[in-house]
Structure 1
């Protein structure tokens, strides 16, 4: 069988998205007969009917839906390949695919990305928010380069995981609420409190903290977004338990934004542990090393140095 024609695949995806051949032709700046020819040739090549042409709309067959799902991945990979070639041709370093957990807040990511842009402007970072399990799976599959993951995670299958950050968990309390100097499990259990969802590290940490005190309270609200939880605290809807992230660049620490809320330490203390995961096969890639160094700058635990100490030029 001959190789797939990506233009024909793109035409099929346009029909799937826009529901008619005429709309697909307009969006792709093609003549309607060319769209019909693309689909006919693609169906002939695959030996399967992909599109059912109705009077008003075109719909996909089951085989057509499989081709559309696979085709989106093919086109994304092709776009990435073209982009990397263009960047290398311009003397730039490349694209690094980085994933982070939802629990890493906007207080940490913007200064990290700014630091990287200043130190290695030739590196383009594509950022995804994924669960730690999905990040590890994508590292093994080779569709991700680096990931910030919740610890513990086991190294193996060509993926190395190292400790990166250990941030104290604190209670964020509405400014108008009376709050003790330290928040205990019993005090928090008696309040309206909000949490990340049950599938997250944040939830498991908080649940374990309650369990040590013999408690198992249910949160009033579950929301997997630290900034949204913080905003709800400021609005007086409840208490949230989140990590106190102080980025720290070149030995300096940023002050956390506490406007509209009170920050109280937990008693007993609770830590959120994060690690850096990378593919061992990519240990010497210059662009990945540059991102690793940027991430290492924001570490607050004794993490191992990047695999190579040579200077990476932008």
Structure 2
């Protein structure tokens, strides 16, 4: 069954408001026969007269009044939908789906979102906790707009990854362990360790750091939640290797933070789909680039 056209409904509303077929034709910039055809199609669709003509005045029938009430709401909703889309196309509003690790969300993203809130208050960023691999997979599926991913990564078809920032990886050690000024693989491998699980790029990077010294320590606990790892370090349950995130003043006093020897770095990239991005996504990318 064919649906009722919004154009036909708009014609009905104009005729009712103006009380004239001719005036409605002028208002809508349509030929009078076209106006009559619109009404005839509507009446054929509902199976009843919608308008009456009395002494040159056009008025809706009772059935016409019922349809008019619905038509006004439908047309208002359609106009509102087009206005919302227009604002999103112009970058005044929009929703951006972003995936990142818990560490990046807690310590890096807030500064970007603060800038975005001031510069583009109509942009809504929906944040998801995702591993780098999950972010890339959702980008390829079209279920994500931006991913903050650990490098290196194979982006895959339709996705591009741009290097973003390079942060030092540090040793986080219970303060009462009295760690040296610089922590080596040999010193750390002799202690209880709480490390990222094997699904993460950070696990691979730290494993290579130990392996380069001929060491392959087994962690006491494996997690993929950096703040939880830090809490366990603060409780004296083990040491860890994590990227430097946030300010030193925020660090738990029970935790000593030390540079590594040899040094180690965590590299992050920004992943998004190839081609032209929506304006809202572009504004979020600009806010992230300010954190370099």
Which deviates further from its counterpart, 271-280 or 83-92? 83-92
Does the CA-based 8 Å contact 1:101-1:150 persist in structure 2? Answer: no
Aligned to 1:181: 181
Q: Judging changes above 3 Å, is the alpha-carbon distance between structure 1 residues 292 and 179 closer, same or farther for their aligned structure 2 residues?
A: same
How far, CA to CA, are the matches of 1:232 and 1:115 in structure 2?
33
In the alignment, is residue 259 of structure 1 matched against residue 245 of structure 2? no
Shift of 1:167: 0.6
- Distance in 1, matches of 2:183 and 2:84, equals 51
- Is the CA contact (8 Å cut-off) linking 1:171 and 1:263 kept in structure 2? yes
Q: Please tell me whether the aligned partners of residues 145 and 282 of structure 1 are also in contact (alpha carbons under 8 angstroms).
A: no
Separation in 1 of the partners of 2:203 and 2:97?
A: 27
The correspondence of residues 64-213 of structure 1 with structure 2, limited to 5 A, is: 88=85, 92-104=92-104, 106-213=106-213
1:86, CA displacement in angstroms? Answer: 8.3
Structure of greater Rg: 2
Shift of 1:177: 1.7
Matches of 2:103 and 2:81 in 1, distance apart?
A: 30
**2:271 paired residue number:** 277
- Structure 2 distance, partners of 1:242, 1:290, is 29
SS of residue matched to 2:182: coil
How big is the shift at 1:107?
2.0
Cross-structure match for 1:215: 215
Q: How has the CA–CA distance of structure 1 residues 282 and 90 changed in structure 2, closer, same or farther, with 3 Å as cutoff? A: closer
- TM-score normalized by the length of structure 1: 0.62
Query: Against the structure 1 CA distance between its residues 105 and 210, is the aligned structure 2 distance closer, same or farther, given a 3 Å change threshold?
Result: farther
Conserved in 2, the CA contact under 8 Å of 1:229 and 1:240? yes
Q: Contact 1:98–1:145 (CA<8 Å) still a contact in 2?
A: yes
CA–CA separation in structure 2 for the residues paired with 1:121 and 1:157: 33
Whether contact under 8 Å (2:103, 2:245) holds in the other structure is no
SS of the aligned residue for 1:176 comes to helix
* Inter-CA distance 256–281: structure 2 relative to 1 (3 Å threshold): farther
Determine whether 1:239 maps to 2:233.
no
Q: Point out the more displaced range, 237-246 or 103-112.
A: 103-112
Structure 1 170/120 Cα, relative in aligned 2: closer, same or farther at 3 Å?
A: same
Q: Which runs of 5+ in 2 are unaligned?
A: 1-79
What is aligned with 1:229? 229
Deviation, 1:241, is 0.8
TM-score, normalised on structure 2?
A: 0.66
CA offset at residue 281 of structure 1?
3.1
- Can you give the 5+ residue segments of structure 1 that lack an aligned partner in the other structure? 1-82, 247-253, 300-314
Residue aligned with 1:281, SS: coil
When the two structures are aligned, how many residues end up with a matched partner?
209
Q: Is the deviation greater in 198-207 or in 154-163?
A: 154-163
Secondary structure, aligned partner of 2:224? coil
Q: 1:145 to 1:175 in 2, by over 3 A?
A: same
126-135 vs 187-196, greater mean Cα deviation:
126-135
